[in-house]
Amino acid sequence: MLLAVPSEQIVAASGTAERLLCPDDGSVVGRNFEDFAADEPTGALDLVVAGHLDGCEARRVIRRGARDIPVTVWIRVVDGREGRSFALAILLPEQPALGESLPRPEGTTAQAVVGSTDAHLTVDRVSTDVVALLGH
């Protein structure tokens, strides 16, 4: 998802993100990310807005109908014309909590690995799922 900063309004979302947040086929664009959270904000986005962080990782709980889904949220600053005006948010739900409600595409077996690199393409952060994929 792409979030406006600091309002946390969702500017754009992938189809998978929309199905995770709105299982009833509604759109999440234009809504505040916190509308979908069952827990309190971490405060990390405030540090991103203030320029103290370029990104963060947090455990959050997403309210999905009558169920709560634990997710890992990765946030990375996307500089706009006015500076830190957007953030890319990636939601990694815990698969056991989803059950069959949000299945992987057929034929895929790898866990999601999310990371980022610096300007020299050196990995500066990566999710722990990389261990399952690479073996170290």
pLDDT on residue 9: 94
pLDDT on residue 108: 53
User: Among positive and negative, which fits the CA dihedral 89, 90, 94, 100?
Assistant: positive
pLDDT on residue 61: 93
**17 and 28 in contact (C-beta within 8 Å)?**
yes
Query: Is the preceding omega at residue 6 within 30 degrees of 0, hence cis?
Result: yes
Confidence (pTM): 0.68
pLDDT on residue 10: 95
**90 and 114 in contact (C-beta within 8 Å)?**
yes
Show the low-confidence residues of the chain (pLDDT under 50).
none
